[in-house]
Structure 1
Amino acid sequence: MSFSTHVLDAVTGRPAAGVRVRLEHEGRTVAEGRTDDDGRLKGWDPGPGVHRVVFDTGAYLRETFYPEVVITFTVTDPGQHYHVPLLLSPYAYSTYRGS
């Protein structure tokens, strides 16, 4: 099983590079890193269960209503790839299960 994310800045229309991201499972951090120049972070292996991916949006955006975005998701099939993208702006965000 693998996990990846991609953060896109909806204001600039460009990838959000350097966003701090951490992955949590059962209340503890299991992985952390920053998005690359293409706004991507990949290669994490969280295992089955309920996880939280936490984006430090306050450090990336100068002014934002959401200083942190937390997306909780469930890994039901450890054999699949889980991609959780984030489309980000100062006053809104959206996400979906990617491929």
Structure 2
Amino acid sequence: MSSTLPNSPLTTYVLNTGDGVPGARMALSLHRLDSLLVIWNLVTVGTTDEDGRCPGLITTKAFTPGMYKMRFETGQYWESLGQNSFYPYVEIVFTITNPNERFHLPLLLSRFSYSTYRGS
């Protein structure tokens, strides 16, 4: 699976707010909840580029209404910088009701905190 699918309705950006730089080379994965089996199915995996972006994670055709989870491997990221952190990973769960819209899911990250919001 590719992390650079064209025209993806879902994008992300990671910002290392502690150092004021993009969160480059962070592994992440996108999952969709199977509400009948109550399990998370892996949709795709990716890695942020040098600008902290992973521009496309899912095709428009595959992006259907439902509950999704994006998992960021923050512990590995901090370890690669020779630092430790409180959170080994960050999972952001969100619901898509209108897949015809575009969604941007930024992660603002330091070693001991994080925040996110829905962008467009």
Coarse TM-score class (shorter-chain normalised):
over 0.9
Q: What is the total number of aligned residue pairs between the two structures? A: 99
Scaled by the length of structure 1, what TM-score is found?
A: 0.95
Q: Secondary structure at the match of 1:43?
A: coil
Structure-2 residue corresponding to 1:7: 14
Structure-2 residue corresponding to 1:47: 64
Deviation at 1:68, TM superposition (A): 0.5
Scaled by the length of structure 2, what TM-score is found?
A: 0.79
Q: 1 or 2, which has the higher strand percentage?
A: 1
- Segments ≥4 residues shifted beyond 3 Å: none
Structure 2's unaligned 5+ residue stretches are 1-7, 34-39
Q: Which one of 50, 58, 65 corresponds to residue 37 of structure 1? A: 50
Deviation at 1:44, TM superposition (A): 2.2
Percent identical:
43
Deviation at 1:47, TM superposition (A): 2.4
Pairwise CA RMSD of aligned residues? 1.1
Structure-1 residue corresponding to 2:87: 66
Rg larger in structure: 2
Structure 1's unaligned 5+ residue stretches are none
Deviation at 1:79, TM superposition (A): 0.5
